[in-house]
A and B are shown apart, each in its own frame.
Chain A
Amino acid sequence: DIQMTQSPSTLSASVGDRVTITCRASQNINLWLAWYQQKPGKAPKLLIYKASSLESGVPSRFSGGGSGTEFTLTISSLQPDDFATYYCQHYNNYSFFTFGPGTKVDVK
């Protein structure tokens, strides 16, 4: 099975910072990678699909990049509403959905 890892596990940042989270796959997954944001007590929210496609309604300060085994989620200028936990997710037709362990972005 393909394993997904994320780094860092926790990221402390300030409003206005540029923030980058990395997700790595144990095998080549091409562009089958999505990113979700989850706030405490809330359901996850889709941000990015197909590695770099921005979901409708998601602010343009969010961007996704990468392919193959290494991917990034970047927030160009961190806003107060962005403090949350971020998960990467891979899909394939064998093990179907696999999530990374999450990256918590908190206040520095």
Chain B
Amino acid sequence: EVQLVESGGGLVKPGRSLRLSCSASGFTFGDYGMSWFRQAPGKGLEWVGFIRSKPYGGTTEYAASVKGRFTISRDDSKSIAYLQMNGLKTEDTALFYCTRLQYLRGYVDYWGQGALVTVSS
């Protein structure tokens, strides 16, 4: 059974940093890209970024709203994906979801339960 478990969320002041982790199990982690999405309270879904699997270069892409502030990385030996968030803004307050990416098919097929990030002074 595919499982994705996010951790590392919390309350942080504007301008500070936070790192989310996504622990994966139930599939060969290194074979898949991983993507992060977020959902602000009461709002819709927003793509944050993704990292391709190593066979596809292990490269990353980001939404314009987070580019230059957020960094996605992966440790295939531990089956963990990370979302490093720097320079957090109040508008980054959201539930952040880790997902498994079907890279060549254009969708995500499994979602974690989400990690809440609250940016407030």
Nearest-neighbour CB distance to chain A for B43, whole angstroms, equals 9
Decide yes or no: A89 and B107 within 8 Å by CB, A43-B97, A96-B47, A97-B35 being known contacts.
yes
Contact with A55, one of B35, B47, B109 (Cβ below 8 angstroms): B109
Contact between chains at A99 and B106 (CB < 8 Å): no
Beyond A43-B111, A44-B111, whether A96 also contacts B105 by CB under 8 A is: no
A49 and B103 alpha carbons, distance in the complex (Å): 12
Cβ 8 A contact of B45, one of A44, A46, A49, A55: A44
Minimal beta-carbon separation of B8 from chain A (angstroms): 17
| Interface size class of chain A, counting residues whose CB lies under 8 Å from the partner chain | 20 to 34
Dominant SS among interface residues on chain B: strand
| A49 partner residues in chain B, CB cutoff 8 A | 102, 105-107, 109
Task: Say whether B106 contacts A32, CB under 8 Å.
Answer: yes
- Listed by A's residue number, 9 A-B pairs whose Cβ atoms lie within 8 Å are A34-B107, A44-B45, A46-B107, A46-B108, A96-B50, A98-B47, A99-B45, A99-B46, A100-B44
